Chain A
């Protein structure tokens, strides 16, 4: 960039060129000096840039890549020495040679058997079965079972394999194997929105027994909005009080807002368990005061109520603090002026005070909402079964089922969803109006 301008400079200002003492064109010299400063500035931010690239951009990129790339059916990595082996080569060759929808013939089964023999040598049948099982549930055992006997199978292979298990003839299984022959696939995104391809390759809804993700995305969205609204309703008066009290009182009150903020998340969540469980403090108090009978204690935790209560409390400071920082500098004489000009206290609040707090509301709402959408540990501990959010299923696929591609697809959808909402927010409210302090 600097070079290009330097080259262009002399042609532009040819007749009376300003030069420095040592004869260099002034413009070029200036450029060189500025380029040096820019390089230095760049070097200063380089550590941060590298840090962001390594710890943030690269993992997210990797995650997005994983959501469309799963080589479980195409290559096997030996975990003891790291060597990679191409697998299912023969069967993939057959898929390439025959168009989709071709009835698997003897050649296909022969290719399958020779591939299974290799799987047995590599001990890869479990991994391959797991890959296919993601999309064709119940087929993992076909691979482990058949691979165990693959070496002893003899022609005709079709008959021999179907003899082990008739499920091998399932067209859906062959469709899945064909799709999995290419490591790149969008099927994990389909699965993440409760869709799948049927044996003809058409996209259909999954059996309602297994449909769960759309429900959880909806629940996550609704609960996050609800929690954002609740923190606003609870946080606005607190922030107003903090902002209008004399400093010496408001500082003490501020401690009450900040103290829970500094307390460990787990401590706060488990405290809610102590308070809300059916033998907990709240229920005991209700029973002791005779408001509730001992047999009909209210279930306030291990369900959605628990998730809402605990998350609202935990996220409250994220609403209060931006609101406070916006309310503090609002000059009280504006409202007094409105009152003296005849406005009722409600009108003065609505027309004068409230509009000035909007940037704080925007910032607080955005913070709380985005945090709530990705919340994981609190719903896991107090959510029971109907208070789980989509992040809990992402965690399940990350740590339990180890279907990392599906976890990545779900996480990517969540990411795109949040970005879309952010864009919408920018269009409606304007991100410039955001004020964090």
Chain B
């Protein structure tokens, strides 16, 4: 029975591939995938006649790495974080992308100059700037937390906290809460003492932490009252607060900025369509369009002026962007080189710490 099912699915798969062009895009799910479907996938299919399969993962970098190493790649385009894009490219798991396929800005500025600094790498093209922020539910907190210190302050702000179940961002936030200035965080984490210090700080709230893995979880945990505050991807909190009317507030102090980038895994079944998709989705208009569905900043300078209102037609997007001047007062830019190199060892230590 199962075998028949697999065979029919396989047959249908080949039938589809033979008849209609398609591209499979893997992203992070929830409100973020929705914003991409609305801003990229639908217009892409309408204009190019290429169907887009949207699939989701908690972090697309891990399944595509596993797929490429196992020699069974089903994904054509994946949306990954900066450090993962660099690491996977280093390991030869990604296809290099020729930047000349990317369209120029409407005023003629070539793509290489139009993208903000660092947004283009050998194997990856950035689409958004996002950030890890701390957020809280106003109904479950008597006092309003206003700094990253408050996240670690159980005395004044009792209750459970939500944290992403990995080392990245948690260690930086722990150090910033411990009084380390944003500019010195990564220098500190290069040393064993710095890492010890970060884990010691995390130790102080370990018993009160609910760990999340998917980006859709923190808004859920906050809404259910399972946690009083949580780290989260800023766009998810914005969509829950503005789009769904949840009583959530973002604390921008100690936010950690990062890129999300499109990459093509080695052995992607629809390589040409994948390149067309990336070129289409990262043009000036599409990036600006996406910003009207979720509060992530477009990776092209020329898109900035086109960003207007949220899809509800009344909320101005600019102040909700992680890159808005008011939100950058104490912000940290994720050091992709640091994480590309140290991801494995720090997550190993993180796992051991978690289990102890």
Total contacting residues, chain A, CB less than 8 A? 42
Decide if B341 touches A79 in the complex (CB within 8 Å): no
Decide if B353 touches A209 in the complex (CB within 8 Å): yes
Residues of B close to A295: CB separation below 8 A: 158
Q: Which residue of B lies closest to A125 (CB)?
A: B90
CA distance A134 to B344 in the complex (A): 8
Decide if A210 touches B352 in the complex (CB within 8 Å): yes
Decide if B69 touches A278 in the complex (CB within 8 Å): no
Decide if A130 touches B91 in the complex (CB within 8 Å): yes
CA distance A199 to B87 in the complex (A): 28
Residues of B close to A126: CB separation below 8 A: 87, 90-92
Residues of B close to A125: CB separation below 8 A: 90
List which B328-355 residues lie within 8 A (CB) of chain A: 340-342, 344-345, 347-349, 351-355
1/0 contact string of B55-73 vs chain A (CB within 8 Å): 0000000110110110100
Residues of B close to A302: CB separation below 8 A: 210-211
Decide if A141 touches B342 in the complex (CB within 8 Å): yes
A212 with B87: in contact, given A141-B342, A277-B224 (CB under 8 Å)? no
| Smallest beta-carbon distance B350→chain A, Å | 10
Q: Which residue of A lies closest to B95 (CB)?
A: A80
Residues of B close to A154: CB separation below 8 A: none
Tell me if B23 counts as interface (CB < 8 A to partner A): no
Residues of A close to B211: CB separation below 8 A: 302, 384-385
Decide if A209 touches B349 in the complex (CB within 8 Å): yes
| Smallest beta-carbon distance A117→chain B, Å | 16
1/0 contact string of A375-413 vs chain B (CB within 8 Å): 000000000111010000100101111111000000000
A124 with B92: in contact, given A80-B266, A80-B267, A212-B355 (CB under 8 Å)? yes
Decide if B92 touches A400 in the complex (CB within 8 Å): no
CA distance A127 to B209 in the complex (A): 34
Residues of B close to A385: CB separation below 8 A: 206, 209, 211, 354-355
CA distance A125 to B356 in the complex (A): 33
Residues of B close to A137: CB separation below 8 A: 344-345, 348
| Smallest beta-carbon distance B228→chain A, Å | 11
Residues of A close to B158: CB separation below 8 A: 295
CA distance A122 to B91 in the complex (A): 10
Residues of A close to B91: CB separation below 8 A: 123, 126-127, 130
Tell me if B300 counts as interface (CB < 8 A to partner A): no
Tell me if B160 counts as interface (CB < 8 A to partner A): yes
Tell me if A356 counts as interface (CB < 8 A to partner B): no
Residues of A close to B93: CB separation below 8 A: 79
* The residue from A127, A211, A212, A279 contacting B92, defined by CB atoms under 8 A apart: A127
Decide if A396 touches B351 in the complex (CB within 8 Å): yes
Tell me if B178 counts as interface (CB < 8 A to partner A): no
CA distance A254 to B69 in the complex (A): 47
Total contacting residues, chain B, CB less than 8 A? 38
Residues of A close to B267: CB separation below 8 A: 79-80
Residues of A close to B65: CB separation below 8 A: 402
1/0 contact string of B139-161 vs chain A (CB within 8 Å): 00000000000000000001010
* The residue from A278, A386, A401 contacting B226, defined by CB atoms under 8 A apart: A278
Tell me if B225 counts as interface (CB < 8 A to partner A): yes
Residues of B close to A210: CB separation below 8 A: 348-349, 352
| Smallest beta-carbon distance B122→chain A, Å | 10
Decide if A401 touches B347 in the complex (CB within 8 Å): yes
Residues of A close to B266: CB separation below 8 A: 79-80
Q: Which residue of A lies closest to B73 (CB)?
A: A79
Residues of A close to B352: CB separation below 8 A: 209-212
Tell me if A106 counts as interface (CB < 8 A to partner B): no
Q: Once A and B bind, how many residue pairs between them come within 8 Å at the CB atom?
A: 95
Q: Which residue of A lies closest to B353 (CB)?
A: A209
A212 with B351: in contact, given A126-B87, A130-B344, A141-B342 (CB under 8 Å)? yes
List which A28-84 residues lie within 8 A (CB) of chain B: 78-80
| Smallest beta-carbon distance B6→chain A, Å | 12
Decide if B62 touches A399 in the complex (CB within 8 Å): yes
Decide if A401 touches B341 in the complex (CB within 8 Å): no
Residues of A close to B344: CB separation below 8 A: 130, 133-134, 137, 140, 401, 403
Residues of B close to A400: CB separation below 8 A: 62, 347
Residues of B close to A140: CB separation below 8 A: 341-342, 344-345
Decide if A144 touches B347 in the complex (CB within 8 Å): no
Q: Which residue of A lies closest to B265 (CB)?
A: A79
| Smallest beta-carbon distance A397→chain B, Å | 9
Q: Which residue of A lies closest to B65 (CB)?
A: A402
1/0 contact string of A264-289 vs chain B (CB within 8 Å): 00000000000001110000000000
| Smallest beta-carbon distance A243→chain B, Å | 33
Decide if B68 touches A133 in the complex (CB within 8 Å): no
Residues of B close to A133: CB separation below 8 A: 344-345
Tell me if A201 counts as interface (CB < 8 A to partner B): no
CA distance A387 to B354 in the complex (A): 10
Q: Which residue of B lies closest to A215 (CB)?
A: B355
Decide if A384 touches B210 in the complex (CB within 8 Å): yes
A399 with B351: in contact, given A125-B90, A127-B92, A138-B342 (CB under 8 Å)? no
CA distance A80 to B340 in the complex (A): 22
Residues of B close to A298: CB separation below 8 A: none
Residues of A close to B356: CB separation below 8 A: 212, 215
Residues of B close to A80: CB separation below 8 A: 95, 266-267
CA distance A404 to B62 in the complex (A): 13
CA distance A400 to B71 in the complex (A): 17
Residues of A close to B87: CB separation below 8 A: 126
Residues of A close to B63: CB separation below 8 A: 399
Tell me if A216 counts as interface (CB < 8 A to partner B): yes
| Smallest beta-carbon distance B227→chain A, Å | 9
| Smallest beta-carbon distance A405→chain B, Å | 12
Residues of A close to B69: CB separation below 8 A: 402, 404
Q: Which residue of B lies closest to A212 (CB)?
A: B352
| Smallest beta-carbon distance A263→chain B, Å | 20
CA distance A348 to B60 in the complex (A): 62
Contact sample, A vs B, 12 pairs, CB 8 Å cutoff = A141-B341, A144-B90, A210-B352, A212-B355, A277-B226, A302-B210, A385-B355, A393-B351, A400-B62, A401-B344, A401-B347, A402-B65
Q: Which residues of A contact B (CB under 8 A)?
A: 78-80, 122-127, 130, 133-134, 137-138, 140-141, 144-145, 209-212, 215-216, 277-279, 295, 302, 384-386, 388, 393, 396, 398-404
Sorted nearest first, the 10 A-B pairs with minimum C-beta distance are A141-B341, A126-B91, A126-B90, A212-B352, A137-B345, A123-B92, A79-B266, A385-B354, A279-B225, A212-B355
New contact pairs (11) apart from A79-B93, A402-B65, CB-CB < 8 Å: A126-B92, A133-B344, A133-B345, A137-B344, A137-B345, A144-B340, A145-B341, A212-B351, A215-B356, A396-B351, A400-B347
